[in-house]
Homo-oligomer: A and B are copies of this chain.
Amino acid sequence: MAYAFNAFAGDKPGVGELLRAGLPHFDAGVVSFAAGQEVVGEGDPTENFFLVVRGLFRAVKFTRDGRRQVFAFYMPGDICGLEPDATHKLSIEAVDRAGMAILSRQACRARMDHDPRLNAALFEGATRALTLSIDHMLMIGRSSAEERLAWFLMMIRSRSASFGANVVELAMQRQDIADYLGLTIETVSRTFTQFKERGLITLPRKRRVEILRPDALGRLAAADRDAQSIPFAEAAPRLEVAAA
């Protein structure tokens, strides 16, 4: 979203390309981060925004009393950190060893006024981020634990490099999944176990999921939604854009 939006790889104009072409010193600004390292923290001034180059990042918010919510995961090609206010409201952290291009908000803002395409692409990105956040919210507010995890797995699958592959790598740990889905780590774990027992998945490793029955998982994920907003399952005609 502006907040932290995902310019999906394979997207139309390609915000990434537009930025790369339009901004000077683009490649000079790529920085590496270690797992768990913070890119920006809550309250930091919004001087820059970011384009993920490799690895995985997460947007997080902590609360005084220890509660934690993960709002998004960012994969290569995604943009994040564009915020309306003077300070960041979310922290952005590297989940694993990962890299980001650090872009000047100022430079981008100036360019936006001159390049309608970049303008349109960013605006679209921001609005699309909202669409994503709507799905996320619907999921958190109205779904059972198994629906949430199914939704999560199908989302990761649809966004993974090998689109449609039935083995997905989870770079994040269980706590991140739990905090993304609004569940506890124990419930996530139990639900994984339950999926195994039902023959929906196998877990060759803790962080690797083999999806045996994408159809069944997709139905679970879609149970609380209407068909059209679920671009997960294979046949996804990919009309608009694979939202989420």
Interface residues of A (CB under 8 A from B): 1-5, 42-43, 61-65, 67-69, 71, 82-86, 89-90, 112-113, 116, 119, 122-124, 126-131, 133-134, 136-138, 140-142, 182, 223-229, 240-241, 243
**Chain B nearest Cβ from A182, distance in angstroms:** 3
Would A84 and B131 be within 8 Å (CB), given that A69-B137, A123-B126 are in contact?
A: yes
**Does the CB pair A65–B134 fall under 8 Å?**
no
30 pairs across A/B with beta carbons < 8 Å? A1-B130, A3-B127, A3-B131, A3-B134, A4-B130, A42-B226, A61-B134, A61-B138, A63-B138, A63-B226, A64-B226, A64-B241, A65-B223, A65-B224, A65-B241, A69-B137, A69-B138, A84-B124, A84-B127, A84-B130, A84-B131, A89-B134, A113-B116, A119-B119, A123-B126, A126-B126, A136-B137, A140-B140, A140-B182, A141-B182
Question: What residues of B have a CB within 8 angstroms of the CB of A67 in the complex?
Answer: 142, 224
Q: How many monomers of this chain does the complex have?
A: 2
Would A69 and B240 be within 8 Å (CB), given that A2-B123, A134-B3 are in contact?
A: no
**Chain B nearest Cβ from A76, distance in angstroms:** 21
Question: What residues of B have a CB within 8 angstroms of the CB of A63 in the complex?
Answer: 138, 142, 224-226
